[in-house]
Amino acid sequence: MSSLSINIEDVFEFATQDQVFGLEPIIDQNLKALHAGTGKGNNYIGWLSLPSSIGEDSLQSIGKVADDLRAKSEVVVVVGIGGSYLGAKAVIDALNHSFANQLPTGNPMVVFAGHNICEEYHSELLELLDNKSYSIIVISKSGTTTEPAIAFRLLKQHLELKVGKEEASSRIVAITDSSKGALRQLATQEGYRTFTIPHDVGGRYSVLTPVGLLPIAVAGFDIKKLVAGAADAEMATGVDTPFDKNPACLYAAARNALYSSGYKVEIMVNYTPKLHFLTEWWKQLYGESEGKENKGIFPAGVDFTTDLHSLGQYIQEGERMIFETVISVQNSRRKLDIPYNSDNLDELNYIAGKRLSDVNRMAQLGTTLAHLDGKVPIINLEIPEISEYWLGYLIYFFEKACAISGYTLGVNPFDQPGVEAYKKNMFALLGKKGYEEQGKLLRKILGEEN
């Protein structure tokens, strides 16, 4: 069976083979600590064996609710922020028709809310929903995270006014804590159907829980295949796989060796816009997991060839602090040939008859050669195709490599203490109870209070 391919040979000019493979002992130690549950943040490693432990009953339960929402909804709104929406968004966008909102696909339109506090965005969403039958999936362990809580308050009111309180309750599904929190309390009070976020799985590692699986199923995609891909990745990256055959270990070693050699920024590169939100999910996974204690590789992303016309100049000739991780897709799901034109004013007849995917691959190879000439290290990843199976495989691969890499940096890859800083200031400025004194101080600093 074909598999995820990882090639780190284009790293060795910048971080030597000895540097990369010299990390084998610590990488192996960290992999074993992860599986033994002896590393930092070990109360949040429930995702580690999740793919192989998801039962058929669980998938059927998710599928049944998804079918019900699909039957009664033109639109399904997924309310969440961070890991509560990015994983589902990544998979749905990768598998969906690029113009799904303009062409009928037979599936509900899945849209997202609660990942910003933009007035225009939420106002326009409500305008869309005025003329659509819709349902809501609200995702939050606590139910009090500001952005999704605001969005859900708006949507709940809108839906209840539109269809009545009883019908609204049948159209709302809550994915939340098993026993505590505001959303759990509200769901019990209102009679919402619920799914549980495992207590030992953090948001950015939650794609393979109902957090990601329910929206993906609603969009019409096969969550069994997604989980199967992740389960195979779980096996391929386990403690029994030797270092030089373990893609998660090789990836963690290569990026940490580059980091030690002065490469502080990792750019995720894809050559299809379908993987744009996979990069966005990856950015959160690695940024929130590793950016601590004044350490960590800064994760960024580009869509090539589009961004070669905007960021290409900097990548080619800017400060040498960047390395690239390139995701290649071997096979396209569609076929489109470039036509011949007798006038040839655009001078493209030299590629007439070629598939667009072949031209795209030559653009990728040309870019790789140019960037290596420009002293940009490159890690190459390749999957056979964009499908549920391979997206599941990639997701688990990145999760596993992230945990190993965080341990190698010496940080806890499962917490996010820095995220709270902006919240405290926002609460104080908005006058939340308990933050009054801090609010006075901040307003004075901002010149809004004498």
Which of 288, 290, 324, 399 is the catalytic position? 288
Is 6 in contact with 379 (CB distance < 8 Å)?
Answer: yes
The answer to whether the bond into 105 is cis (omega within 30° of 0) is no
Minimal CA–CA distance to 115: which of 28, 215, 21, 35?
Answer: 215
Which tokens belong to 135?
A: 């349902």
User: What is the DSSP pairing of strand 322-329 with strand 109-113?
Assistant: unpaired
**Helical segments of 176-319, H only:** 182-190, 210-218, 223-236, 247-260, 276-290, 312-317
Instruction: Return d(Cα 96, Cα 109) in angstroms, integer.
Output: 10
Q: Is 423 a catalytic residue?
A: yes
Cα–Cα distance between 143 and 149 in angstroms, integer?
Answer: 6
Residue type, 319: E
Q: How many CA atoms lie within 13 A of 312 on its CB side?
A: 14
How far apart are alpha carbons 251 and 175 in whole angstroms? 33
Rounded (5°) CA angle 25-28-31: 150
Residue 22, SS3? coil
Task: Report which of 190, 236, 232, 247 is spatially closest to residue 6, judged by C-alpha positions.
Answer: 247
Catalytic residue among 423, 424, 440, 444: 423
Phi, psi (degrees; rounded to nearest 5) at 256? -70, -35
- 282 and 407 Cβ atoms separated by less than 8 Å: no
Q: Is 132 a catalytic residue?
A: no
Answer yes or no: 74 catalytic.
no
Neighbours of 184 (CB within 10 A): 21
**Which residue among the candidates 56, 120, 127, 309 is catalytic per the annotation?**
309
Q: With CA atoms as reference, report the closest residue to 410 among 93, 40, 23, 37.
A: 40
Active-site residue list: 288, 309, 423
